[in-house]
Structure 1
Amino acid sequence: MSSQLAPLPATTWFQRHGYQATIWAAAQQLKEQELRFLLVQQETQQGTQSYLSQESLTISPLQSIFETHSYQPPYLPEALVNHPFFAQLNSQENPKEGLVYPNPDFIPNTDSYRYYAVVDGVKSFILPQLCEREGQTDSLYKGDLKNRMHTNAPYLTQLTVNDEGISGFTQILFTQAEQEWFGCWDINPAIFIRTKHSFEEVHYHLRKFIHLYKEETEKWYFFRFYDPQVLVAYLHHIEYDPTRLAAFFGFRNGECIIEYFAARIENRFYIFNLKELPPETQPSAVAFDNEMERFLEEYDKRQLLEKLQTEIIPAEFPEQKIAEADIDKYFNQTLELGFKIEGSITNVVKTLCYLSGDLTKLKRYWLELEKEYGNDLTEIELGELLCEKINLR
């Protein structure tokens, strides 16, 4: 138990710990010049029950329109055509002539799902232009940042189907082609959203996560949740934390702003939605807190390990064919030795590959370097010198 001895505004409390009804009620009852003390229990450890429902299926890219020779080429991979997730992405329930262009014959049904994509403009400068042809589109940046980074911003765009049964932008996202304006499968620039809420509501909600504030440094940080790999990793990271899930899906009063998230990683298509949350669950604060920092550190480590396994080590040791399991072991041993910087981690993993994982030899070389250069070597210098020493043997 710990006590906060200085007066703390309720709004500051919520920024740090998330909304709590009892504290909000106490704040409303305060009289002028009245001071109340609250005893705060340590943060509850997240449990072992997952509150995230996940489905994944294997899909294949669509062929280029120049290869299909069809008047009405499909805009979804075969495995998704009859899947419930995209069941209402058709010209009757999400028509371009009605949602984008005026159509007096179209009466929107509030029970129909709407489909959106969040597109990463960094991956292609032409994507924002292609988005605008599909449906309502707007940058998730605002103000001066929106003007300065209009070609590199994340964009929310509504997916529609025209009266010929074609969803052009959806088709581009699932098509594999040499030129990205004919197919974006290889650069994989988007995540998908299914919800009954309006474009404006979804846009407002997602903007909360674009820039996250870190109170300790008083700085704002970008959060690229719209990258498919980041989205899938983040949802797996918070699946046992109902408060963070509630915040990310926009859960309040039994409803979610985002009912489903979906993303593709290579040939796997992932679909996520919430299970029933515990009663009285309130969304956590949206901020760059210790948990978010921990997630990003873990994510960066996983990305580096994958790069070591698939690119760096195979290129450095083309004939040895070092197993991924061994690279994984060397990687974790390097982290246990205290290396944290990408370049130094890479050099130490290479060193262990040269030594066939002999930690005793590595530590002996380490001591020799400290005798030669002293104990003031930086992590980067030590990693480079270890790798050089092995290469010069």
Structure 2
Amino acid sequence: MQNENRIYAVDAQLLSGNESEAAVVLIYAPNAELAKNKITIYQQQHQLRLNYFLLPLPLELYFQRHADGALIEPIRTASRDLSDARALIIFMPNRFEQSDKTDSPCLIKTEVLLRNPNEARGPFLFQALPDSVTPYLWPEDDSDNCYVIVNAESSAWFPTGFERDDIQFACLYKGEQAERMRNIAPYLIKLPASHSFAEELFSTPMAGKENDDGPQQWHKNFGFFFRSRAEFDELLQHFRKFMILPTYDERQLYFRFYDPRVLEDYLDRLLCYPKKLAAFFGGSLIESIVLPKGDYFVHYAPNTDLSAVTPAKKQFDKFEMDIFIAQRNQSLLAGLANDMLVAKPVLAEYYDRETIEKVVHHCYQVCHKHGIYQTSVIGIFSLLSLACGSVMDIADPQREINRILQSQLSEQEKLYEIKKRFAFLANQGIIQNKLGETNG
């Protein structure tokens, strides 16, 4: 019986570059020592870096001592694929929930015009609540269940604008931090339709005053509205849990969900992820959400019973972080292309904007593949590529530049050696520099 294979499991960290991600390694082996050997062989074959500190345990014993209860069934399901032919599986706890994606959205998103553009503006400082929004926030004059999250940083009129005796409010920060960040913190406010503060939030500036920080708040991305029948303190505790969210790889990020642009992007990304939505909506804690958006407002309402859904862990999962990184990189590379056009106007004589961005993106990918992350270095390599009309990793017929990229040199050393190689190729007439000096 000692030689009969069984399933072992051990917690580990999968390392990639400077990042790590939690993993559970599942091994089909006759004992713990051979399970460790199989992990070593698997790492060598697949060129992976796995760190683990405990001895692999039989699966059921691992469940008793280490496993998150919510992960037991997914891990058990994954382990059924183990066999003599497939002796090791790496289960990624923070990725499995992506398979919970539904085929259709779990939220109904509606975009509604706030006011008729032909509506005449009265002589008063503030406007009456628009008829368009009342059915979404105060149906049948139900004023007890409308709340608003307001970001005090969005207007000089906050928080004094809502610090009144007849309105219930609380800062999402606590204690000394709440006092220290009083003028830039987000606040939870219970908002009756009859309160004058509601008119301030829904009012737009007069013509010619659009860029002034006046007391009319609608166009300032101040926050969002929502409906709930829960107690004020329960809602306060719920939103406080989202101020800082961990990532799947155990970093901590501020989450500016109180910015309506951020929240719209977040909810749109999770439309088909019921467990993620159940976490943010608190099951049935939040009935619906309304976001200001220019001349419109956006309404989100669940079309599935989120209270019947097991909520996901409150964190940014890998698929979300991948989207964040892609968006950040797109913005960074577009900015880099802009900077290059400003620094080297002659570029526009040889290339259109799309070509320049493609070269910048290619150099970014090559650099990251070889451990180069500084934006300035990526910019110089992009300029060198554009100068000679061939991207840096194929500009050299002897592939000497590739050898430098693949070396163990530091970023600055690689930059120095590659610039020197470009100069040599130009002196030999192998490449022609169209742009002149490209040191950046």
Give the TM bin, normalised by the shorter chain.
0.5 to 0.7
CA shift in 2, pair 1:161/1:300, >3 Å: same
- Which one of 38, 43, 53 corresponds to residue 108 of structure 2? 53
Q: Is the 8 A contact 1:114 1:197 kept in 2?
A: no
How many residue pairs are counted as aligned between the two chains? 341
Aligned equivalent of 1:3: 9
Identity of aligned residues (%): 19
The alignment status of 1:261 with 2:289, answered yes or no, reads: yes
Deviates more, 1:284-293 or 1:240-249: 284-293
CA shift in 2, pair 1:178/1:47, >3 Å: closer
Per-residue Cα deviation, 1:313-351 (whole angstroms, up to 9, x for no partner): 776688949877657645653553354858359737964
Distance in 1 between residues matched to 2:269 and 2:8, nearest whole Å: 28
Question: What's the offset of the Cα at 1:68?
Answer: 4.7
Normalising by structure 1, we get a TM-score of 0.64
The alignment status of 1:333 with 2:358, answered yes or no, reads: no
Distance in 2 between residues matched to 1:53 and 1:345, nearest whole Å: 45
Deviates more, 1:241-250 or 1:340-349: 340-349
CA shift in 2, pair 1:280/1:197, >3 Å: closer
- Corresponding residue SS for 1:224: coil
Q: Aligned runs of 1:160-239 on 2, under 5 Å?
A: 160-162=192-194, 167-171=199-203, 177-184=210-217, 187-213=220-246, 217=250, 220-239=252-271
Q: Is the 8 A contact 2:242 2:314 kept in 1?
A: yes
Distance in 1 between residues matched to 2:136 and 2:409, nearest whole Å: 59
Gaps (5+ residues) in structure 2?
1-6, 11-56, 79-90, 420-432
Question: What's the offset of the Cα at 1:209?
Answer: 1.0
Query: CA-atom RMSD, angstroms?
Result: 5.0
CA shift in 2, pair 1:312/1:69, >3 Å: farther
The alignment status of 1:270 with 2:298, answered yes or no, reads: yes
Q: Is the 8 A contact 1:341 1:380 kept in 2?
A: no
Q: Which has the larger radius of gyration?
A: 2
- Whose relative contact order is higher, 1 or 2, with alpha carbons under 8 Å and at least 6 apart? 1
Q: Is the 8 A contact 1:125 1:152 kept in 2?
A: no
- Which one of 142, 160, 165 corresponds to residue 129 of structure 1? 160
Per-residue Cα deviation, 1:239-291 (whole angstroms, up to 9, x for no partner): 2221111111111xxxx212222334555533222222599520011135545
The alignment status of 1:74 with 2:130, answered yes or no, reads: no
Distance in 2 between residues matched to 1:379 and 1:61, nearest whole Å: 59
Q: Aligned runs of 1:1-393 on 2, under 5 Å?
A: 3=9, 5=57, 13=68, 17=70, 39=76, 41=78, 42=91, 43=96, 45-47=99-101, 49=103, 50-57=105-112, 68=121, 70-71=123-124, 73-75=126-128, 81-83=131-133, 86=136, 88=138, 92-94=141-143, 113-116=145-148, 118-124=149-155, 126-133=157-164, 135-162=167-194, 167-171=199-203, 177-184=210-217, 187-213=220-246, 217=250, 220-251=252-283, 256-266=284-294, 269-276=297-304, 281-301=309-329, 303-304=331-332, 320=348, 329-330=358-359, 332-339=361-368, 341=373, 343-344=375-376, 347=379, 351=383, 360=391, 363-364=394-395, 376-378=409-411, 382=415, 392=437
Q: Is the 8 A contact 2:146 2:227 kept in 1?
A: yes
CA shift in 2, pair 1:150/1:86, >3 Å: same
Distance in 2 between residues matched to 1:187 and 1:380, nearest whole Å: 47
- Corresponding residue SS for 1:196: coil
Aligned equivalent of 2:45: none
Gaps (5+ residues) in structure 1?
24-37, 95-107
- Corresponding residue SS for 1:151: coil
Question: What's the offset of the Cα at 1:83?
Answer: 4.4
